[in-house]
Amino acid sequence: MSNEPPNDNPSQAPAAAPRLPRDVDPHLEAERLQSISAARATMYEATGAVAQRLGDDVAAFDAARRAGLVPEAHEEAEPLESRLDLTRMVRRGASTEELRQALLDHAMTRFECDKAAILEPDESGKVLIVAGARTAGQALRDDFSLRIDEGVGGRVFVTGEREVVPDTSRCDFFTSNPDSSAPPKYLVAVPLESGGERVGVLCVERPVDQPATIAEIDALHAFAAHAAEQLRGVLVFEDLQRRVEQLSVMCRISRELSGSLERDKLLALIVSSARGLLNCGMCSLMLFDDDKQFLRITHAEGLPHDVVGSVRVRPGDGVSGWVAEYGEALLVEDIENDARFKRRDERVRQRRKYTTRSLLSVPLLIGTEVVGVLNVNNKASNAVFTERDRDNLTLLASQAAVSVENARLYETLQRLAVTDPLTKLFRRNYFEEQMDAELGRSRRYRRHLSVLMLDIDHFKKVNDNHGHQAGDVVLQALAGLLRRYGRKDDVIARFGGEEFCALLVETDIEGARLAGERIREAAAAFAFDVGRAEPLRITVSVGFASFPDHGRDGNELVKRADLALYAAKHGGRNQVRGYEPGLEMPAGGEA
């Protein structure tokens, strides 16, 4: 899959339809990893045979030396011992770090150098980094890096030929450490190569006045080749371990995602899982709004809150917009030089705190429909995201998309179960459930609670004179007013017909009266557009009862708020009444 945009102008659609991201089958991947493991076992059997031969050679040299038959045997045995030590280290399960340090120790001792360093390609394969170093005293920068074809190390890695530089100050292609003040050096760089595959470069330095002999360079080159063979085997094994660990993490993430239906927790889980899987400092999940016009950040880690709340992206704009438009994963190696990566100004750039230039963005797909975009940035150790990272994040995003859709459908079903389809207010059964819960809290913490009952005055005349569609318009508009004037924690429901109710938490008698008056005045002032030349005007009557003054349980509070409502209607309508002892239902049930 290409990581490049379809053309140089990101505002123009590509000529060909974009390909969907590759699917990674965990079962096939597990089979591939098993085959690699089998190959490693074969390689270690061969390593064991080499170790046995080297051991026999060393034993023969020792026997000859003791017999006085080979006076110079110790000069040959020492490098063989060093080779055998590396082989034994591998058989004991040594890590690549331990092998590198052994190689550097040998280079420093045998070559009598001031500095030895191992350069290896990073995950992207485009940069050589310092994988290990030894020094006789001068300062070293372990974050020093070169392009894969840059400097002496890059030339050796590309060509596979060793390089000898008698004086680094006179070498046109030598790239020095920018922070180094060390004098010119005599430099030898040999490839770390095994089976035709280069795993790195070994560089050693001496003073300019201490050049090496051909025999010394040959010995260093030979030992480097042997070390590369051991290093390559362990690198393959450690890569295998990482792949197995990643698959294990993916399986765990998949189980967690599939078992979560609560939207907020699910979004947080997706973002935290992506950060952990790719070992990065910044991650954001963007989903389309209801009308599919913009992508908005719904959850993020590592981004300032003001950025999370303010960002919205049109399909086609920027990196996230490009991914949403074409439904294809995008790996950007350098956001500074990518035309799709737009910043408004330097202040925004500083606020976002991008510490690396590599960015990875993948779509959340349901079939061929893009429902969102998952972005990661600031990979650990300033590393560049790789194709493997892209494949892992794409796999996670595919599972995340299904989970997000499941959560959305679940929320829809839950909402339909408790929501009146006409007014979008809660149903009566939900109101009664919340009444019991809030009453329990009010009793526990000795807090007030009020119930508000509201009825549209002369609503039957609205239906008779203007039709039931006009009546529905009035009900919907009044529901909007109730939501607008209600508080966040209030529970507002359609009680039945043209009657509404509201549960006002932590509200006493006077607070309930004020809330009722605000709603009554808003309804009287509102112009209801029912398709006539002149807007329709209505009034409402309101009754309320408060805990603990007017009742101790939910049924009692609702009944007494209803009595207060009928008292308001009987008293002339378009008014607010609180419950008072002695109120009774009017004869016939209606004022």
Q: Which residue has the higher pLDDT, 68 or 313?
A: 313
Highest mean pLDDT among 69-73, 148-152, 206-210: 206-210
Q: In sequence order, what DSSP letters do the residues of 376-439 get, joined into one string? A: EEEEGGGPPP-HHHHHHHHHHHHHHHHHHHHHHHHHHHHHHHHB-TTT-SBPHHHHHHHHHHHH
Mean pLDDT lowest for which of 44-53, 123-132, 153-162? 44-53
pLDDT in tens, 222-277: 888 888 888 888 887 777 777 777 777 777 777 787 777 788 888 899 999 999 88
- 505 and 552 in a single domain? The answer is yes
Q: What is the pLDDT of residue 346?
A: 44
pLDDT over threshold 60, residue 320: yes
Residue 128 falls within a domain, yes or no?
A: yes
- 146 and 58 in a single domain? The answer is yes
Residue 5 falls within a domain, yes or no?
A: no
Residue 339 falls within a domain, yes or no?
A: yes
- 487 and 541 in a single domain? The answer is yes
Which of these, 499, 496, 494, lies nearest to 426 by C-alpha position? 494
- 305 and 401 in a single domain? The answer is yes
Q: Do β-strands 540-547 and 576-578 pair in parallel, antiparallel, or remain unpaired?
A: parallel
Total domains, the chain: 3
pLDDT over threshold 50, residue 76: no
Residue 272 falls within a domain, yes or no?
A: yes
User: Where is the domain boundary, 353, 384, 413?
Assistant: 413
- 477 and 565 in a single domain? The answer is yes
pLDDT over threshold 60, residue 291: yes
Query: What is the C-alpha separation between 383 and 139, in angstroms, rounded?
Result: 23
Range of the domain at 140: 26-240
- 226 and 343 in a single domain? The answer is no
**Hey, what are 411's tokens?**
């929320």
Please, are residues 192 and 158 in contact by the beta-carbon 8 Å criterion?
Answer: no
Residue 561 falls within a domain, yes or no?
A: yes
In CATH, what number is assigned to the domain containing residue 501? Answer: 3.30.70.270
Q: What is the pLDDT of residue 74?
A: 39
Q: Do β-strands 499-505 and 449-456 pair in parallel, antiparallel, or remain unpaired?
A: antiparallel
Residue with tokens 């030992």: 223
Q: What is the model's pTM?
A: 0.53
- 404 and 528 in a single domain? The answer is no
Averaged pLDDT for residues 449-471: 94
Angle, CA of 433, 435 and 438, to the nearest 5°: 110
- 468 and 409 in a single domain? The answer is no
Q: What is the pLDDT of residue 22?
A: 46
Q: In DSSP terms, which residues pair with 374 in a beta bridge?
A: 285, 362
- 314 and 355 in a single domain? The answer is yes
Residue 8 falls within a domain, yes or no?
A: no
Neighbours of 47 (CB within 10 A): 19
Which of these, 456, 451, 458, 439, lies nearest to 543 by C-alpha position? 451
Residue 367 falls within a domain, yes or no?
A: yes
In CATH, what number is assigned to the domain containing residue 267? Answer: 3.30.450.40
User: Where is the domain boundary, 240, 269, 295?
Assistant: 240
Q: Which residue has the higher pLDDT, 161 or 2?
A: 161
Neighbours of 220 (CB within 10 A): 23
- 277 and 225 in a single domain? The answer is no
pLDDT over threshold 80, residue 494: yes
- 403 and 539 in a single domain? The answer is no
- 486 and 391 in a single domain? The answer is no
Residue 6 falls within a domain, yes or no?
A: no
pLDDT in tens, 7-28: 444 444 443 333 334 444 555 5
